[in-house]
Amino acid sequence: MYAQLVKTDGKGVKPLDEMTPEERVFQQRIDDDQKIEPKDWMPDGYRKNLIRQISQHAHSELVGQLPESNWITRAPTLERKAILLAKVQDEAGHGLYLYCAAETLGISRDQMFDQLHSGKSKYSSIFNYPTLTWADMGAVGWLVDGAAIMNQVPLQRTSYGPYARAMVRICKEESFHQRQGFHIMMKMANGTAAQKRMAQDALNRFWYPSLMMFGPSDKDSVHSAQSMAWKIKINTNDELRQKFVDQTVPQAEYLGLTVPDKDLRWNDETGSYVFTEPDWDEFYAVLAGNGPCNKERLQARVDAWNDGDWFREGLLANAAKRRAKQGEAA
Amino acid sequence: MSSSNQTHSESGASPFEFLLQMGDNCLILAHRNSQWCGHGPALEEDIAIANISLDLIGQTQLWLGLAGEVEGAGRSADDLAYLRDAFDFRNLLLVERPNGDFGLTLMRQFLFDAWHLPMLKGLQQSTDQRVAEIAEKSVREVAYHLERSSDLIVRLGDGSEQSHQRMQSALDELWSYTGEMLDFDDLSPTLVSQGMVPQAQGIAEAFNQHVSETLQQATLTQPASEFVRRGGKTGIHSEHLGYVLAEMQFLQRAYPGATW
């Protein structure tokens, strides 16, 4: 979801007998569900892969503030404004936990920002879609946070301790976000004709991009096999997507909204919904930078960083002065 | 709309108008600050500024809620926030100033906080119990706002050459807007004599002392000009407020009667 298409450097999972003794002990610990901590030995591939995954997740929280902050100043009531502010603040907080978790693997926040700003490191494709009406604040909470939770709940059991612990805190707050999103949708779906139209329009636009959040099918991917062996990925993308559809379709029905998939149907045998896959060409186009808001989102982050240069420099200069004064006093 | 005995008159602001001043200051400053969400110079600042906006929106709900109650015309805090035009707003000109760079935003916050805290401390003693209760609820949040903004003013003022210059020019730009806060009871002598609001003099002294100490630590120079820009408290605003309201009130105006 927040980390789509994270590639490993390896060519697949090494069989135990090809592993070095260190690697074997490491894999054994993971198989025994022990947590790996920052000072423990770990294979380079594990470290690199985790850095990619956690930083991509952190960037998603950071960039994910933008589509929602787009509506803070236009929130329709003081209470809705307060809730949205709290939510965007939580997202910045999630970014902070995750950057800190990634830092324990030996990369700095500044380096991760450089990678984001240069386009080397990605963030979730969903945030390259625009938020056009107030109902989008509902759809983002309901669908986007709903898909995020689907992915993050299992990650609370991920093998890397700092990541797993960050996920526990994040999941608690995400559940609140999803509920408030659904509440906005309920108000809109039961509101005036204009509000109901906004709600349906938001579902139409966010449905397939939400399904894309889980990433393309990875059942045959060597990268995913390795990530799963390391328990930094717990379920396949298809499993999570199916679970999301099965959970969300009845909610849409409850709201009286129509999922924009004319082939959607319940399959009695599998006990789950059959649904139309999203347009993966569109997904790759968005990932390549051609989504509706890629340019604006990244530019907003680059501008924030560049415009804040003097601020960060000023604080550093002051800290240096204080240290110098303390040195004189000592 | 408000009846004639509740608008500004020769005896000064009515209790209703005074409550609007308190609430509108919080609302408009929260709006300005919230424009920074996701665009701050550091992740920690994004979090802090969202948090301050959130506090101020909470305080807006309390002040405007009470204003509606005192007015007695059945208007809720949301009605007052979303369905008044600019000339019925009573906020200070200072808080509607555009954000500019982060330094200007911080300086605006600092100057406001330096007034807001002693004002709330004074209001804790208000003879109107409802006012005292809101002040009591808000004062701890605002003490933190002032602590943060003062700390950053000192660090950036006494930081790099560039940060010093930016903070000095922010101070120079905003200074003439501070006087409007300090002649607070020019508008409401009746409210002061009734003990509903504190004497302006005490607030001004606390403001001046904190500001001059902080600016000194920050190596910034307090502008000598005594020119004061006024108007916000009598509803004569800058051109900026109309745009703030156009944005803020869009949904309520475009879809009248809908609930959200």
pLDDT band with cut points at 50, 70 and 90 for residue A223: confident
Q: Which of B43, B159, B252 sits opposite A318 (nearest CB)?
A: B159
Q: Do A93 and B47 touch (CB under 8 A)?
A: yes
Q: Is residue B239 part of a domain?
A: yes
**Least CA distance to A81: which residue of chain B?**
B57
Tens digit of each residue's pLDDT (9 = 90 or more) over A121-143 = 999 999 999 999 999 999 999 99
Region A273-293 average pLDDT = 96
Q: Is residue B168 part of a domain?
A: yes
Q: What are phi and psi of B258, to 5 degrees?
A: -75, 150
**Least CA distance to A299: which residue of chain B?**
B39
Q: Is residue B6 part of a domain?
A: no
- B184 and B119 in contact (C-beta within 8 Å)? yes
Tens digit of each residue's pLDDT (9 = 90 or more) over B125-162 = 999 999 999 999 999 999 999 999 999 999 999 999 99
Tens digit of each residue's pLDDT (9 = 90 or more) over A142-196 = 999 999 999 899 999 999 999 999 999 999 888 889 999 999 999 999 999 999 9
DSSP string, A187-214: HHHTS-HHHHHHHHHHHHHHHHHHHHTT
Report d(CA B217, CA A240) in Å as an integer: 56
Report pLDDT for B11: 54
Domain residues for B171?
A: 13-222+229-254
Q: Is residue B259 part of a domain?
A: no
Chain A residue numbers touching B45 (CB-CB < 8 A): 308, 311
pLDDT at B195 > cutoff 70: yes
User: Which CATH number fits the domain that encloses residue B50?
Assistant: 1.20.1260.10
Number of separate domains in chain B? 1
Chain A residue numbers touching B39 (CB-CB < 8 A): 69, 300, 303-304
Q: Is residue B129 part of a domain?
A: yes
Q: Is residue B8 part of a domain?
A: no
- B191 and B18 in contact (C-beta within 8 Å)? yes
Q: Do A304 and B160 touch (CB under 8 A)?
A: no
Q: Which of A79, A85, A303 sits opposite B53 (nearest CB)?
A: A85
Q: Do B162 and A72 touch (CB under 8 A)?
A: no
Which tokens sit at A238?
């298809």
**Least CA distance to A59: which residue of chain B?**
B43
ipTM, interface predicted TM-score of the complex = 0.94
Q: Is residue B192 part of a domain?
A: yes
Tens digit of each residue's pLDDT (9 = 90 or more) over A60-74 = 999 999 999 999 999
pLDDT band with cut points at 50, 70 and 90 for residue B185: low
- Strands A272-274, A265-267: pairing is antiparallel
> For residue A155, what are the contacts with CB-CB under 8 A and spacing of at least 6?
A163, A164, A167, A234
**Least CA distance to B260: which residue of chain A?**
A187
Predicted structure pTM score: 0.94
Which of A310, A312, A322, A323 best tests the B interface by mutation, with the highest count of B CBs <10 A?
A310
Region B29-43 average pLDDT = 97
Q: Is residue B2 part of a domain?
A: no
pLDDT at B7 > cutoff 50: no
Report pLDDT for A221: 77
Report pLDDT for B8: 47
Nearest to A163 by CA among A303, A282, A47: A47
Shortest alpha-carbon distance between residue A266 and chain B (Å): 33
- A234 and A264 in contact (C-beta within 8 Å)? no
